[in-house]
Every structure is written in C-alpha cells, then in structure tokens.
Amino acid sequence: MITRNTIGSPVADLRNGPFGSFGVTGPSARPPYGQGSLGIEVANNSTSLTPPSEKVDFGNEVDFFGDPVLGLDNLGFHVFQTGENVGYGGTGNLPNIKFEIDPNLSALPADNYSTLVWVPDGTTVVTNRWSGFIDATTNGYWYLTGGEVCPAADQCTFAEVKTALNDADSQGATIYTAAVGKGRDYMWIGAVDGLRINQRIYDFEAKGVRTRSAA
C-alpha cells in the first residue's frame, strides 16, 4: 500500500483466490495467473472527511520513477467483479490504474504534480468471476487530476492524453509512481490480477508479486 495515498481503513492485500463464485467453473473461476491476486476492499460513507469514502493505492514508488509517460504503450488488468459492486455504484464501479506524474508542461512550468488515472468501462465485465484482460489503452477513459489537461469531464482516450502531454517542453512528462487504486467513491470488494505495464505482467500472489514477461 502507498501509505500517503490511503484514506480510512481500506484493505489492499495479497491473497489466495478468489475461486468461484459458486457454480462458476473453467478459466474464469480462478485467478488468471498463479493462485493469488490483489484483494481490495473500500467502504463508502466511512470517514468524517469530504467525500466520506475510503481510498487505497497499491503500487510501486521506486521502479518507475523517472520513466517517460510517453513510453507507456500497453496497460490493463484482469478484475474479479461482483454483482454487489455493480449494485453499489453501477457497472463502472471498478478499480483504476494510476500514475503519479510530473506533467512537465511548458504552459505550466511550476506545476510538477498530477495523477494520470484510467477509468475502466465495465459494461462488458462479467460478474462473480474473473474477467478477461481489460485493455486500458482502448477501454474506458483517462483523465489528469488538477488543471493541466484532460480533466475528468473530458474523458480522454489514451491517445488523446498522451498527445496532450506531448507539448513543446523538451523534458517530457515523467512518472513518479505506478499503482492500482480504488476510491474515493463507492464501496467495492473484489480483486485484481495480471496488471500489465508495457512488456511486464505483475502476477499478484499471497507471498509476493511475480513479474512475468508479456509474450
């Protein structure tokens, strides 16, 4: 867990499973890689803050530091979604991929922080079983926190947000951290596995995170 990005008392824990739900068999009944996954649990209306919901990010604050944002080409994950989660917040109630970045925009030279966020489109995600790979470069939309480019209302495509960050500043946007996160919005209890960032797939297992090479 990225401690400074955690609000309330959520759970982001490496675990075995989930296997199921009951009556589900075949590949969708088990994690797509190995035996485990990243279990996530966040609650709504559970804090005294505004908004009152919890937030959690599980990620890496070391290995991606300084990498170019424009070098991101392949992104996505598998998710275990439940019918209850859809009931709490609709089909779009799903975890996000988040990159804390330095936008390095020539128009905003003093602005050195934003979070680049992917919001999946969950309309085709099955419930009570593991999904197939959800491609973050073609599914859903992206936005940047703050006032740089592509605010949430714009719902930019992956190509659009990369173009917006590719301005005249020769430094280019760089990554601080990479994470899977949830909140602050609706209650969600589920799991993520097979996080892909470019040519690496992160296999979440109860005893640690294994790095696999994407074929």
Q: Give the rounded distance of the alpha carbon of 134 from its chain centre.
A: 11
Domain enclosing residue 33, as ranges:
3-213
Band (pLDDT 50/70/90 cuts) for residue 210 is: very high
Q: How many domains does the chain have?
A: 1
pLDDT tens digits, residue range 153-185? 889 999 999 988 987 666 789 999 999 999 999
Helix (H) or strand (E) segment spanning residue 102: strand 96-102
Is 108 a residue whose pLDDT tops 90? Answer: no
CATH code: domain of residue 206:
2.60.120
Distance CA 120, CA 114 (A): 19
